Structure 1
Amino acid sequence: MNGTQAHSRAPIILGSSLGLVIGATIMILLHESSHAIAGAVQGLHPTQVPFAVDYTPEPGTSAHVIALLAGPAFSLVSGAIGIAVDRIAVPLLGRPFWRMVWVWTIFTSVQEGLGYLQITAIMGAGDTAQAFDLMGLSSGALITATIIGWAGLPVTAWLFAGAIRPMCSTVHEKRALAVWPWIIGTVVLLVLMTIYVLLGPVKDAGVIVAVLAGALAVGIFAPISMMFGTEKVGADKPLTMHWPATGGLILLVILVAVNLVLTQSWIWP
């Protein structure tokens, strides 16, 4: 790779990295809001922070299970619907940055749902593990959930490879959309989530571990996607992406500001 090629791919890497941070932040906000809404419709009063939701009064077992599972279920189902739409319509193909925001949002949503399954029998932490514990499910059920979660990862990676293929004229462009953004975006997400944890009221070690592990793993399908169709590309001309993506940077600032407000706890009516 010569200097000119590296320079030409820098806007793609930076744009896709920003897209990952925006998409994952949107996904987490929707995920936590779905917990809060599930509690509210059951007569509870949710208190939402950027990475967790608590309830007043203390929920009963069935209400707590529903509220816990609402987040992973919403993420998995909404992400799957988004992927189905993407495979049919391929939205925003002419606007590469915003397409990557869309793609990262729907695929991190799926990974969020699968991720909770993946750690069910390993860490004993997270929404799904807590719900299964409240339901008194056997260790076999936890292991089965974990196997299903990990089996979904290569499928997600394969679908992600298909989603970015129409944008790319070379394998190097696919790598610039997937691998480097995963590294850069994950670091940024970890920094942001650490800030939210330090500023927020939740100090439970299990919750914090699950939050940081989730931030670390939310884009893991991206580098794995390079295993699939490495030589296949779908674009006739080189991919270009404008940088700086002013609209994306403004959106990220707004999302971070919302989360900083949420660190002081948003109490739903």
Structure 2
Amino acid sequence: MDAITTKEVERPLSAFRLQGKVALITGGGGRIGRETASRFLREGAQVGLVDIDAEALRAAEIFLVSESQAQAQAQSQSETVAQDRILTIVGDVTSERDVEDATNSTKRKFGRLDIVFLNAGVSYTATSLFDTKEEDYERVMRLNVKSAFLGLKHAAKVMRDMGNGGSIILTSSIAGLRGTPGLILYSGSKFALRGLALTAAGELGQYGIRVNTIHPSGVDTPMFRNAWSAEKLDELKAGMPLGRFARVDDVSSVVAFLASDDSKFMTGGFLKVDGGCVSF
């Protein structure tokens, strides 16, 4: 049995848990994507962001550079190198060629790939089963499930070939833990991510690659608010034991934990980020 040595106990905890690590984030132009990128940068990582929306990516890059400059000023540093630690990639995460190019481009730019946050996805306005169309199925499953499958496949391939292990995190939802009337396709797609993650965790553990899912409740973003009526939003908020919807930093902090060695013995797991609204 391995024992923790006195030397390990006395070693100070790092304030930069991701120092020297390289991360790739899909859906990087969205609020959760860019907030997680900001958290990764603050923890010392270099970050690639991929999104199909070039304008959103550019806005995310401006935001990240501005955040870095503000942090440098607060710490009385004369300069910041954040822009050198950011790579933006315009790509379609449902295209295998684009996903492969994004993973390889990130590795070429920074020399390695340690963390992949598969965060791209889509929701829709709550609709009954009877009014849900076949084209809705194709769109939701393509963006939520196919993109995650492709991301897993190509991230794992790069990590396996490098031989350094890695952490892959998938954004599921509390809708991937319980039925969600009105969002049958969204719920089905988010349940599918658990199957992908569990199976990948079993296959990839031999390479030191960990795979976990996070399950946020409603994160206060435009995508979430557009899915529900004002009355339903009030009802959902009333059911939150912590009295509010999740914020983007509630999610990014959990992702940073799963990306770091603080979670080095966790794989195949699921973490609720739900303010207590789902109880088992």
TM-score by length of 2: 0.27
Of structures 1 and 2, the one scoring higher in RCO (CA 8 A, sep 6+) is 1
Structure showing the higher strand proportion among its residues: 2
